[in-house]
């Protein structure tokens, strides 16, 4: 699937329409704010930034968007989004002021993931941040996977097929790549070929 959105993305509807001209893959909104909603996508990740303590990023955007989302009939998937330290300040941190959880604080990460599931989230996303220097550690993925009953998404800093394979082997159900494909679109085919059995 193709995620459209992000912390600073704009012109979401135009991007969704452009993506549809190039692929039949489902287009899923991954919004950074309420202005990134369009009913022209196939589905919406209705996310909560789990380690934020600011209601502006915990519940206020969801309330602001709720009526339009419900009226659109778009498939809506509640998701717990957990920001981890990827070795550099991410766009999410800059925009939200959220403090990323250190990757050596495995217990806190696991507790946060469990809380997301108990709150009714249908997906949990471990995010090292766009352009992360270090992706989510496999040991963290394994620890979180062992406690969850919902699919686990992992992204941020994945730039090689070896890193993606490590994430899958550790227990990720979905791996996300952004910057690499934006900078080197030709890499997309190599990843698809390598992981065709997992698609």
pLDDT in tens, 131-168: 789 999 999 999 999 999 999 999 998 999 999 999 99
Mean pLDDT of 162-182: 91
What is the reported pLDDT for 77? 97
130 within 8 A of 178, measured Cβ to Cβ: yes
Question: Residue 10 above 70 pLDDT?
Answer: no
Please state, rounded to an integer, the average pLDDT across all residues of the chain.
Answer: 90
What is the reported pLDDT for 9? 62
pLDDT in tens, 24-59: 899 999 988 788 899 999 999 999 999 888 777 778
Name the nearest CA neighbour of 151 among 92, 77, 70: 77
Domain carrying residue 33 = 2-198
Reported confidence tier of residue 88, pLDDT bands at 50, 70, 90: confident
| Strand extents, DSSP E, the chain | 2-6, 27-31, 43-49, 75-83, 123-127, 152-155, 174-176
Question: Residue 199 above 70 pLDDT?
Answer: no
Question: Residue 7 above 70 pLDDT?
Answer: no
Mean pLDDT of 168-180: 91
Name the domain count of the chain.
1
- Domain CATH for 46: 3.20.20.390
What is the reported pLDDT for 163? 93
Specify the length of the chain in residues: 199
What is the reported pLDDT for 198? 72
* Better pLDDT: 185 or 126: 126
What is the reported pLDDT for 76? 96
Question: Residue 73 above 80 pLDDT?
Answer: yes
Question: Residue 120 above 70 pLDDT?
Answer: yes
Which CB contacts under 8 angstroms, 24+ apart, belong to 59-62? 61/33, 61/34
102 within 8 A of 85, measured Cβ to Cβ: yes
pLDDT in tens, 105-117: 999 999 999 999 9
* Exposure letters 20-56 (e unless 16+ CB within 10 A, then b): eeeeeeebbbbbbbeebbbebbeebbbbbbbbbeeee
């Amino acid at each position: 699937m193709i995620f459209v959105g992000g912390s600073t993305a704009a012109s979401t509807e135009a991007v969704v329409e452009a993506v549809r001209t190039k692929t039949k893959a489902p287009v899923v909104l991954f919004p950074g704010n309420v202005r990134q909603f369009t009913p022209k996508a196939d589905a919406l990740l209705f996310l909560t930034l789990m380690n934020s303590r600011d209601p502006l990023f915990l519940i206020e955007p969801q309330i602001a968007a709720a009526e339009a989302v419900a009226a659109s009939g778009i498939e809506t998937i509640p998701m717990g989004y957990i920001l981890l330290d990827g070795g550099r300040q991410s766009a999410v941190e800059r925009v939200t002021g959220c403090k990323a959880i250190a990757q050596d604080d495995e217990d806190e990460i696991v507790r946060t993931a469990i809380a997301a599931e108990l709150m009714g989230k249908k997906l949990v996303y471990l995010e090292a941040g766009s352009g992360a220097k270090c992706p989510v550690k496999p040991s963290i993925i394994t620890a979180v996977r062992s406690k969850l009953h919902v699919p686990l998404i992992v992204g941020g800093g994945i730039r090689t097929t070896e890193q993606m394979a490590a994430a899958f082997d550790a227990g990720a159900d979905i791996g996300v790549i952004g910057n690499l494909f934006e900078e080197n679109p030709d890499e997309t085919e190599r990843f698809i070929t390598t992981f065709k059995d997992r698609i």
